[in-house]
C-alpha cells in the first residue's frame, strides 16, 4: 500500500453567542498531517459541550467533516485512522488536541497509535530476570523494571497497534542462561489496549527432545481476493543436538487448502504464496515438525477484501475493455484495453481463464492503450471470463473483466445415426443418469485410454453445457472388444446408458457408463482437456459426483495414509493435511467424517488383482516399499467410481517423496540397563493349515523376518503375542532361530504350556515371553491368569537382573478383538470402539485384580503390563486401567504415537503401562514403525496378494503391528534365590507306536548344581529317575490321546523346579477309535458346503445302517437325511457334497456322494447315527442360534471346521450346549485343501 500525506478539513458553522448553534456561515478547518499506510477509514471524535463521532468523507482528495449545529466551546478533538471499515478494526494512527471551535484554522499531526498491554505472568522465579520480545525481533523491549517480584507479576507497557502481534518471554537466571519460555498466540492491538496471560514453561534438560519453536508469521493482513499474497514463516528448532533438525512445514490457509514444505537444518525462513478466492476473515495455521516428530503451531488472521483500499488520489481507473463477445477455439482473439492512473503506470496483468499463466505487459506514463491477442485451445470451449488488472508504480491496482464465449472449432465427423446428446444431459444433476437403458449418440474427446486395465476408455464433452452440477465425462465400456483410440482424439459413438454396480459393492453408489458400443467413428482434429482442480478436504463425498469420469487434478501435496490394498489391487489412499489418526487415539484432534473428507483413492488404472509389478513402490531390491506418511504430488487422472469409492485413475506419473516416517535400521535408543519389548508377531504357527503360514516356504519367510526384527530390537525380555498355542513348540522354534542368529544362544523362554481360561478350551493363539539368560533370571513360576473373561490368558514372569539385582514383573496381554464375529449384543455391540468393548473393560478390570495378586505374592510392586490391548488411548478399556497403570507410551511424541493402521487411520492398540513404583525407573519408550506403515504385500504372505515377488529378509513388514520398547534402570533389590529352571522341547504331536523325543534343559541358579532329575510321561504315571545331566529322553505311546509330561529338577540346596509339556498322540491308521465321526465341516460361500466322516478304527466299516440327518432353524424334526452305503476302509473318509459344490473336485474322499443333507447354514444342526443311535453331532438339535454357534473365536457360519487331532470319537449328546472351539479348529471360508484327509 502506498504512503501519502493527508490533511483533513473540518468545516463548522459558529455563532457569536456561547451555547448557541454555530452559524452556518462560519468555517472551522482542521488539518491533520502525517504519512499513513494501510488506512481504509478515518473518524473524528469531538468531546466538549457536546460529543459526536463523525465519519470523514473524501472530497477532492481531502477527508472532510461538516460540524453544523455543534455548540461553540472548547473541545477535545481526536482523529483515528483505521485499517478497516468498522469500529471493531484496528486504529493504526491517532491525532489528538484541545481547541476552541470558534473560528480560524487548527492543525494536528498523526502519529502511530499505541495500545496498552497488561501482561500477567505466571511461573516466574522472582530471583530471575524476564525479557520480553515482539515477534522475531532479537532485541528485547525496554519495559522499565527488569525483574518482577513474587507478588508483582504484572507488567503494563505501550506497543504500537497492529494485527497478529506475538510476544515472546524468556526467563533468564543469574548466569544469563534461559531457563523458561512462553509465547503468546497472535493477538490484535488497538488503541483501547488488551490483557495477556502467559505461563512460563521450564525448558527440558538439554538431552531431552523439545518441540520446535512456534512459527513466526508475517505478511499482508488485508490481502485482496483473487490476488496472490506472499507470507514469510520463520522457523527454528531449539534442540541442542545437531541430529535433530527441522522436517516439514504444513500451512492450512483457512479456506480448505493447504501447503506443505520440506525443511532441513536448525533454522529456516520459508516464503509461500497464496490466493484467496472470496472475501472474509481467514485464520492461517502453520505447523512445524522436527525430525523427532515433535511439532508446534501458530496462527495468523487476515481479512480478505474484494475492494482496494480507498486511496482515491492515486488509484488507477478501472480498465476499459473492448472486444468481440465470442471467438472460435484455435482462432486468435483480439482485445483492446485502455488504462489510466494519477501516478505512473507499472503493468497490466491479463488472466485469460484457460489455465495458462497470467500475461504481464509493462506500462509507462499516466495512460496507455494496448491491443492484446490470445488463442484458446480446442479444449477450452465454453464461457471464459478474462480479468485485466492494472497496477501503478505505488502498487495500487484496479481490475475489470469481460466474459466471452469460446465456441468449438468445426468438427468433421461422419453423419451420426441419431441425435448427438450432450454428455452433461446424459449424466444429469443427480446420482444416476435420467437416460438409463436408453441408447444415445455422443461425441467427446478421449481423456484416458484404460482398455487394457479397465476394459474401457474415458471421454469428455467438447461443448460443455455450462451446468456446474452435471459431469462432462463418461466411461465407455468396450469389454473384450477394444477400440483403437488415443488420448486427445475426438470420437463419435453410440451406446446404452448404464449405471454400473459391482457384485461386491455394498453402498448404493453407481458409475454412469456406456455399454454395447456401436457406430464408432473418429472425427478430425484433437483436443487438449484441462483437468479440473479439486482441493481437499471435500464438503462431502457427494461433491465428487459432478466430476465423475472427468479429467481432474489435485494440486495439493497429499500424504499416503493407507497401503493395505496396494499389492492386491494397486490402490493407495491419500489425504491432505498429513497422516490420519484414529479419532480415539487421543494424540491429535480427529473425526472419522473429517478423515474421509480429507481423503481420495489413487488407483492403478486396472481392475486386475495382484499387479506385477506393484505400482508406486520406491527403491530397489530389498528397499522397495511405499510407506504411510510418504507424500505424493502431481495426482492427475480421470475420476472414476468403483468398488464403493471415487478413485483417481492416473493419466500421468505421480511423484512420491519420503515422508514423516522413513525406515530405520534399528529402533530409537531407550537407554537403561534393561530393554523390555512387546511384539505382536501375526500368527507365528509351526502347524500349517490353520493360521499363519500355509506352507514351509511362507513359514521360513515369516521366521526370518521376525528374527531380523527381534535381533535389531535386541531386548532383554520380550513379550510375544499371537504365538501358536501348542505347548511351547512355536516359541522354541523361534528361540532356536534367534539364538542361531546371535551365535551364542542368549535366549530361552518362559514355559507356560498350553494356556486356556478356566472351564474353556482356549484360543489357538497365546502370549509368550522370551528372555536373555545373561541379563535376567526368572523368580518363581510363571504367572497365568485363567479368569474366564480372558479368551487368551494373561501370561507373565517375575524377573531379577543379573547385574543390578532389580526385580520386576512383565505381564503380556492380548485383549478381545474388535471384530464383530458371533453377533455380539448389549455392551459388546458395535460402537465407535468396535465390538466387544464391554468384554475388554472386564478384561481390564481382571488385569488390575491380577496385578494386585502378582504384587502381593511376588513381594515386588514393579509391574509392566504390555501387549495388544485392542483399544485406543481414549477408549473405555484403557481408561479403566489408567487409575492404576501409567501409560508409558504417552512419552512417545504425539505424531509418532501409533503401532497399527486400520482403514487408513493410524493409532496404537499396543501399549506399555506401568505401576506407579516402576514409572521412575523408565528411561525411554519408543514404537519402532517397521510394520504399520508398510504394504501388506511385503509380508511373508506376499504371494497371496501379488505375483510381484517383493519379499525381502528384513524386519520391515514382518507383522502388521509395530513393536514397543521400554528402557529400565531398576532400583536394586535383595538377591533372590531361584529354583532350577526346567525347559522342555519337542514336537506337539506324534503318531501312536512311534518314539517321541523330549528335549530337556535344566538351568540351576547361580552357584548351584543339579542333584536329582526325574520324569513322568503321563499325569497318572510315577516319576522315573534320570541322570542329572540328561538332555533328552524318549517314550513310545501305544494309544491316541493327550498326554502331560512332567519333569522335575532338584538342586543341592533342596529347591525343586518343574515344567510340563502336552503332547497329542494321533492314530496311525490302525487306531482304536470306537466308531465313525464327523471330521470336517465346510460352510462356505454360495453352495460350497460339505461334510467329512472319518473311520478311526483299524478295520473297514460297512456303511449300511449309518445315517446323516439335518435339523434346520431350531427344529427337532429331520429336514433332510442321507443313508450311507458301501464300505469305508480303515483311516478312510466319506465326503458328502452339495450338488452345486465348486470349491474343489468331488473326489477327495474314499467314498464321495452328493446329498441335500448339505443344505445347511451356520445355524442348522447335524447328527450322525448308527442303527438309529446318535454317535456324533454338529450343533445343538432344537436350538436356533443367532446366525451360528460360536466360541473361542470360532463360528459355524462362513468357516471350515476340522476336528482337533486329539478327538478320537464322536459326541453323541445332540441336545447339549455346543461350543465349536472345544473339539474343532477353524479355518477361513472355502478352505478345502485338507478335505478327504483326516
The pLDDT score that the predictor gives to residue 379 is 66
The pLDDT score that the predictor gives to residue 482 is 95
The pLDDT score that the predictor gives to residue 749 is 95
User: Is the model's pLDDT at 207 over the cut of 70?
Assistant: no
Separation CA 454–CA 643 (nearest Å): 13
The pLDDT score that the predictor gives to residue 4 is 30
What is the CB-side half-sphere exposure of residue 598 using CA atoms within 13 A?
25
Question: Rounded to 5 degrees, what angle do the CA atoms 567, 570, 571 make?
Answer: 115
Separation CA 12–CA 105 (nearest Å): 11
Interval 703-730: pLDDT, tens: 999 999 999 999 999 999 999 998 889 9
Query: Residue 8: is it exposed, middle or buried by C-beta count within 10 angstroms (0-12/13-18/19+)?
Result: buried
Q: What is the distance of C-alpha 1156 from the center of its chain?
A: 48
Q: How confident is the model at residue 9 (pLDDT cuts 50, 70, 90)?
A: very low
Average pLDDT, stretch 865-878?
97
The pLDDT score that the predictor gives to residue 204 is 66
Nearest to 155 by CA among 193, 201, 186: 193
CB distance 764 to 786 below 8 Å: no
Grid coordinates belonging to 673:
540397563
CA 1151 vs CA 1122, 1129, 1160, 1168: distances in Å: 14, 9, 21, 16
Nearest to 824 by CA among 804, 810, 841, 838: 838
Compare 754 and 1093 and report the one with higher pLDDT: 1093
The pLDDT score that the predictor gives to residue 6 is 34
**Ramachandran class of 1220: left when φ > 0, alpha when ψ lies in -120 to 50, beta otherwise:** alpha
Q: Who's near 162: CB < 8 A, 6+ residues apart?
A: 90, 92, 188, 189, 221
Does pTM top 0.85 for this prediction?
Answer: no
Strand, coil or helix: 851: helix
CA 1221 vs CA 689, 998, 1009: distances in Å: 16, 28, 44
User: Is the model's pLDDT at 520 over the cut of 60?
Assistant: yes
CA 641 vs CA 516, 535, 548, 550, 564: distances in Å: 20, 18, 7, 11, 19
Assign 3-class secondary structure to 185-238. Answer: CCEEECCCCEEEEEECEECCCCCCCCCCCCCEEECCCCCECCCEEEEEEEEECC
Cell numbers 498355542: residue: 725
Interval 113-124: pLDDT, tens: 999 888 888 777
User: Is the model's pLDDT at 583 over the cut of 70?
Assistant: yes
Interval 480-510: pLDDT, tens: 899 999 999 999 999 999 999 887 778 888 9
The pLDDT score that the predictor gives to residue 195 is 81
Average pLDDT, stretch 1141-1166?
92
Nearest to 157 by CA among 169, 144, 170: 144
Query: Residue 541: is it exposed, middle or buried by C-beta count within 10 angstroms (0-12/13-18/19+)?
Result: middle
Of 206-210, 661-665, 975-979, 1046-1050, least confident by mean pLDDT is 206-210
User: Is the model's pLDDT at 864 over the cut of 60?
Assistant: yes
Q: Are strands 8-11 and 922-927 parallel, antiparallel or unpaired?
A: unpaired
The pLDDT score that the predictor gives to residue 5 is 32
Query: Residue 324: is it exposed, middle or buried by C-beta count within 10 angstroms (0-12/13-18/19+)?
Result: exposed
Nearest to 447 by CA among 437, 436, 457: 457
User: Is the model's pLDDT at 61 over the cut of 80?
Assistant: no
CB distance 948 to 614 below 8 Å: yes
Separation CA 717–CA 973 (nearest Å): 18
Cell numbers 525496554: residue: 142
User: Is the model's pLDDT at 870 over the cut of 90?
Assistant: yes
The pLDDT score that the predictor gives to residue 1166 is 96
Q: Domains plus CATH for the chain? A: 4-112 (2.60.40), 114-304 (2.60.40.10), 320-407 (2.60.40.10), 423-529 (2.40.50.140), 541-657 (2.40.50), 674-968 (3.60.10.10), 981-1066 (2.60.40.10), 1077-1227 (2.60.40.1260)
The pLDDT score that the predictor gives to residue 1220 is 93
Q: Who's near 340: CB < 8 A, 6+ residues apart?
A: 316, 317, 366, 367, 368
CB distance 428 to 467 below 8 Å: no
Separation CA 632–CA 560 (nearest Å): 7
Length of the chain: 1238
User: Is the model's pLDDT at 208 over the cut of 60?
Assistant: yes
Grid coordinates belonging to 694:
500355509
Mean pLDDT of the chain, nearest integer: 87
The pLDDT score that the predictor gives to residue 307 is 56
Which phi and psi angles does 917 have, rounded to 5°? -75, -25
Interval 168-191: pLDDT, tens: 888 888 888 888 888 887 788 888
Percent of the chain at pLDDT > 90 equals 54
Q: How confident is the model at residue 1120 (pLDDT cuts 50, 70, 90)?
A: very high
Nearest to 117 by CA among 170, 151, 156, 146: 156
Interval 1202-1223: pLDDT, tens: 999 888 889 988 888 899 999 9
The pLDDT score that the predictor gives to residue 1180 is 92
The pLDDT score that the predictor gives to residue 205 is 67
Compare 933 and 84 and report the one with higher pLDDT: 933
The pLDDT score that the predictor gives to residue 206 is 62
Interval 763-783: pLDDT, tens: 899 999 999 999 999 999 999
CA 1219 vs CA 828, 1191, 1193, 1225: distances in Å: 19, 5, 10, 11
Q: Who's near 296: CB < 8 A, 6+ residues apart?
A: 211, 212, 213, 214, 215, 287, 288
The pLDDT score that the predictor gives to residue 378 is 72
User: Is the model's pLDDT at 1143 over the cut of 80?
Assistant: yes
Average pLDDT, stretch 199-227?
79
Average pLDDT, stretch 68-94?
79
The pLDDT score that the predictor gives to residue 175 is 85
Compare 317 and 768 and report the one with higher pLDDT: 768
Q: How confident is the model at residue 1237 (pLDDT cuts 50, 70, 90)?
A: confident
Average pLDDT, stretch 828-846?
96
User: Is the model's pLDDT at 145 over the cut of 80?
Assistant: no
Grid coordinates belonging to 502:
459391482
Q: How confident is the model at residue 69 (pLDDT cuts 50, 70, 90)?
A: low
User: Is the model's pLDDT at 1064 over the cut of 90?
Assistant: no
Query: Residue 242: is it exposed, middle or buried by C-beta count within 10 angstroms (0-12/13-18/19+)?
Result: exposed
Percent of the chain at pLDDT > 70 equals 92
Q: How confident is the model at residue 603 (pLDDT cuts 50, 70, 90)?
A: very high
Q: How confident is the model at residue 1071 (pLDDT cuts 50, 70, 90)?
A: very low
Q: How confident is the model at residue 685 (pLDDT cuts 50, 70, 90)?
A: very high
Interval 1015-1043: pLDDT, tens: 999 988 899 999 999 999 999 998 888 88
Helix (H) or strand (E) holding 701: helix 696-713
User: Is the model's pLDDT at 35 over the cut of 90?
Assistant: no
CB distance 969 to 673 below 8 Å: yes
Strand, coil or helix: 449: strand
Average pLDDT, stretch 528-547?
89
Separation CA 978–CA 973 (nearest Å): 14
CB distance 369 to 322 below 8 Å: no
Grid coordinates belonging to 1135:
465326503
Amino acid at each position: 500500500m502506498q504512503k501519502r500525506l493527508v490533511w483533513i478539513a473540518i468545516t463548522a458553522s459558529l455563532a457569536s453567542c456561547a451555547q448557541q448553534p454555530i452559524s452556518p456561515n462560519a468555517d472551522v478547518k482542521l488539518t491533520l498531517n502525517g504519512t499513513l499506510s494501510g488506512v481504509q477509514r478515518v473518524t473524528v471524535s469531538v468531546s466538549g459541550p457536546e460529543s459526536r463521532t463523525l465519519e470523514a468523507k473524501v472530497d477532492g482528495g481531502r477527508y472532510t467533516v461538516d460540524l453544523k449545529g455543534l455548540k461553540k466551546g472548547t473541545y477535545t478533538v481526536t482523529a483515528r485512522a483505521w485499517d478497516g471499515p468498522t469500529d471493531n478494526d484496528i486504529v493504526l494512527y491517532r491525532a489528538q488536541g484541545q481547541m476552541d471551535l470558534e473560528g480560524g484554522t487548527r492543525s494536528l499531526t498523526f502519529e502511530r497509535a499505541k495500545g496498552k498491554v497488561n501482561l500477567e505472568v505466571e511461573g516466574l522465579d522472582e530471583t530471575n530476570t524476564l525479557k520480553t520480545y515482539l515477534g522475531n525481533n532479537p532485541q528485547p523491549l525496554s519495559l522499565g523494571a527488569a525483574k518482577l517480584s513474587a507478588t508483582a507479576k504484572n507488567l503494563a507497557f505501550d506497543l504500537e497497534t497492529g494485527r497478529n502481534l506475538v510476544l515472546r518471554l524468556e526467563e533468564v537466571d543469574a548466569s544469563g542462561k534461559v531457563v523458561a519460555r512462553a509465547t503468546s498466540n497472535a493477538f490484535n492491538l488497538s488503541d483501547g489496549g488488551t490483557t495477556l496471560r502467559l505461563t512460563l514453561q521450564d525448558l527440558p534438560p538439554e538431552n531431552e527432545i523439545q518441540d520446535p519453536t512456534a512459527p513466526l508469521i508475517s505478511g499482508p493482513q488485508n490481502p485482496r481476493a483473487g490476488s496472490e499474497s506472499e507470507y514469510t514463516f520463520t522457523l527454528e528448532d531449539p534442540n541442542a543436538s545437531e541430529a535433530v533438525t527441522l522436517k516439514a512445514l504444513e500451512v492450512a490457509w483457512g479456506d480448505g487448502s493447504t501447503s506443505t514444505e520440506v525443511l532441513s537444518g536448525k533454522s529456516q525462513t520459508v516464503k509461500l504464496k497464496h490466493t484467496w478466492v472470496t472475501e472474509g476473515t481467514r485464520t492461517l495455521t502453520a505447523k512445524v515438525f522436527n525430525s523427532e516428530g515433535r511439532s508446534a503451531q501458530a496462527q495468523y488472521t487476515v481479512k480478505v477484501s474484494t475492494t482496494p483500499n480507498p486511496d482515491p488520489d492515486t488509484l488507477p481507473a478501472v480498465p476499459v475493455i473492448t472486444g468481440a463477445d465470442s471467438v472460435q477455439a484455435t482462432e486468435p482473439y483480439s482485445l483492446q484495453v485502455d488504462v489510466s492512473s494519477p501516478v505512473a503506470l507499472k503493468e497490466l496483468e491479463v488472466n485469460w481463464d484457460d489455465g495458462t499463466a497470467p500475461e504481464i505487459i509493462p506500462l509507462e506514463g499516466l495512460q496507455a492503450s494496448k491491443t492484446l491477442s490470445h488463442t484458446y485451445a480446442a479444449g477450452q470451449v465454453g464461457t471464459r471470463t478474462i480479468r485485466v488488472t492494472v497496477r501503478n508504480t505505488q502498487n495500487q491496482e484496479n481490475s475489470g473483466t469481460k466474459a466471452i464465449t469460446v465456441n468449438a472449432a468445426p468438427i468433421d465427423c461422419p453423419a451420426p445415426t441419431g441425435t448427438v446428446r450432450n454428455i452433461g444431459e446424459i449424466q444429469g444433476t443427480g446420482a444416476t443418469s435420467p437416460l438409463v437403458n436408453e441408447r444415445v449418440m455422443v461425441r467427446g474427446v478421449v481423456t484416458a485410454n484404460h482398455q487394457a486395465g479397465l476394459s474401457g476408455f474415458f471421454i469428455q464433452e467438447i461443448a460443455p453445457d455450462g451446468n456446474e452440477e452435471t459431469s462432462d465425462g463418461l466411461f465407455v465400456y468396450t469389454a473384450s472388444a477394444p477400440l483403437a483410440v488415443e488420448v486427445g482424439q475426438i470420437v463419435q459413438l453410440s451406446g446404452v446408458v448404464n449405471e454400473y454396480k459391482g457384485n461386491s459393492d455394498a453402498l448404493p453408489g453407481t458409475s454412469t457408463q456406456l455399454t454395447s458400443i456401436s457406430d464408432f467413428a473418429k472425427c478430425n482434429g484433437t483436443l487438449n482437456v484441462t483437468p479440473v482442480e479439486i482441493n481437499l478436504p471435500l464438503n462431502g463425498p457427494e461433491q465428487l459426483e459432478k466430476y465423475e469420469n472427468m479429467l481432474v487434478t489435485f494440486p495439493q501435496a497429499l500424504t499416503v495414509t493407507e497401503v493395505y490394498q496396494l499389492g492386491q489391487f494397486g490402490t493407495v489412499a491419500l489425504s491432505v493435511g498429513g497422516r490420519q489418526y484414529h479419532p480415539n487415539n487421543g494424540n491429535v484432534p480427529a473425526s472419522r467424517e473429517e478423515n474421509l473428507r480429507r481423503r481420495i483413492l489413487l488407483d492403478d488404472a486396472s481392475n486386475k488383482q495382484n499387479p506385477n509389478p506393484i505400482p508406486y513402490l520406491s527403491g530397489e531390491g530389498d528397499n522397495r516399499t511405499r510407506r504411510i506418511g510418504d507424500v505424493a504430488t502431481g495426482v492427475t487422472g480421470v475420476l472414476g467410481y468403483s468398488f464403493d469409492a471415487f478413485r483417481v485413475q492416473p493419466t500421468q506419473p505421480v511423484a512420491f517423496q519420503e515422508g514423516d516416517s522413513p525406515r530405520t535400521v534399528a529402533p530409537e535408543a531407550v537407554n537403561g540397563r534393561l530393554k523390555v519389548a512387546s511384539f505382536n508377531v501375526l500368527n507365528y504357527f509351526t502347524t500349517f493349515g490353520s493360521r499363519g503360514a500355509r506352507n514351509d516356504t511362507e513359514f521360513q519367510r515369516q521366521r526370518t523376518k521376525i528374527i531380523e526384527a527381534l535381533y535389531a530390537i535386541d531386548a532383554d525380555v520380550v513379550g510375544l503375542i499371537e504365538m501358536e498355542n501348542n505347548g511351547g513348540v512355536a516359541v522354541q522354534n523361534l528361540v532356536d532361530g534367534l539364538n542361531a542368529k546371535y551365535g551364542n544362544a542368549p535366549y530361552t523362554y518362559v514355559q507356560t504350556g498350553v494356556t486356556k481360561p478356566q472351564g474353556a478350551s482356549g484360543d489357538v493363539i497365546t502370549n509368550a515371553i522370551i528372555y536373555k539368560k545373561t541379563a535376567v533370571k526368572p523368580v518363581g513360576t510363571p504367572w497365568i491368569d485363567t479368569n474366564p473373561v480372558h479368551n487368551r490368558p494373561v501370561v507373565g514372569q517375575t524377573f531379577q537382573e543379573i547385574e543390578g539385582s532389580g526385580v520386576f514383573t512383565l505381564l503380556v496381554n492380548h485383549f478381545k478383538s474388535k471384530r464383530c464375529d458371533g453377533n455380539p449384543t448389549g455392551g459388546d455391540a458395535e460402537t465407535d470402539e468396535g465390538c466387544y468393548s464391554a468384554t475388554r473393560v472386564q478384561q481390564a478390570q481382571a488385569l488390575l485384580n491380577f496385578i494386585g495378586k502378582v504384587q502381593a505374592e511376588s513381594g515386588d510392586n514393579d509391574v509392566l503390563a504390555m501387549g495388544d490391548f485392542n483399544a485406543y488411548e481414549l477408549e473405555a478399556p484403557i481408561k479403566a486401567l489408567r487409575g492404576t497403570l501409567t501409560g508409558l507410551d504417552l512419552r512417545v511424541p504425539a505424531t509418532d504415537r501409533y503401532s497399527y493402521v486400520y482403514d487408513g487411520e493410524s493409532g496404537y492398540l499396543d501399549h506399555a503401562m506401568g505401576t506407579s513404583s516402576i514409572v521412575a525407573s523408565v528411561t525411554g519408550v519408543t514404537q519402532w514403525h517397521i510394520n504399520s506403515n508398510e504394504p501388506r504385500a511385503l509380508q511373508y504372505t506376499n504371494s497371496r496378494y501379488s505375483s510381484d515377488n517383493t519379499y525381502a529378509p528384513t524386519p520391515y513388514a514382518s507383522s502388521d503391528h509395530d513393536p514397543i520398547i521400554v528402557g529400565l534402570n531398576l532400583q536394586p533389590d535383595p538377591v533372590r534365590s531361584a529354583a532350577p529352571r526346567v525347559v522342555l522341547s519337542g514336537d506337539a504331536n506324534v503318531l501312536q507306536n512311534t518314539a517321541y523325543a523330549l528335549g530337556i534343559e535344566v538351568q540351576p541358579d547361580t552357584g548351584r548344581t543339579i542333584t536329582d532329575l526325574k520324569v513322568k510321561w503321563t499325569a497318572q504315571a510315577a516319576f522315573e529317575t534320570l541322570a542329572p545331566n540328561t538332555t533328552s529322553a524318549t517314550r513310545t505311546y501305544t494309544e491316541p490321546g493327550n498326554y502331560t509330561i512332567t519333569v522335575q529338577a532338584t538342586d543341592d540346596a533342596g529347591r525343586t523346579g518343574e515344567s510340563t509339556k502336552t503332547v497329542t498322540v494321533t492314530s496311525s491308521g490302525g487306531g482304536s477309535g470306537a466308531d465313525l465321526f464327523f471330521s470336517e465341516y465346510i460352510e462356505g460361500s454360495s453352495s460350497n458346503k460339505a461334510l467329512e466322516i472319518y473311520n478311526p478304527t483299524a478295520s473297514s466299516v460297512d456303511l449300511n445302517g449309518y445315517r446323516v440327518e439335518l435339523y434346520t432353524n431350531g427344529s427337532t424334526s429331520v429336514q433332510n437325511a442321507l443313508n450311507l452305503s458301501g464300505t469305508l476302509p480303515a483311516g478312510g473318509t466319506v465326503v458328502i457334497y452339495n450338488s452345486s459344490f465348486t470349491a474343489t473336485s468331488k473326489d477327495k474322499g474314499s467314498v464321495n456322494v452328493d446329498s441335500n443333507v448339505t443344505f445347511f447354514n451356520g445355524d442348522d444342526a447335524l447328527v450322525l447315527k448308527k442303527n438309529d443311535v446318535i454317535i456324533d453331532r454338529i450343533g445343538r438339535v432344537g436350538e436356533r442360534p443367532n446366525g451360528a454357534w460360536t466360541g473361542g473365536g470360532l463360528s459355524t457360519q462362513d468357516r471350515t471346521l476340522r476336528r482337533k487331532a486329539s478327538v478320537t470319537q464322536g459326541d453323541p449328546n445332540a441336545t447339549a450346549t455346543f461350543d465349536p472351539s472345544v473339539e474343532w479348529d477353524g479355518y477361513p471360508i472355502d478352505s478345502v485343501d485338507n478335505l478327504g484327509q483326516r
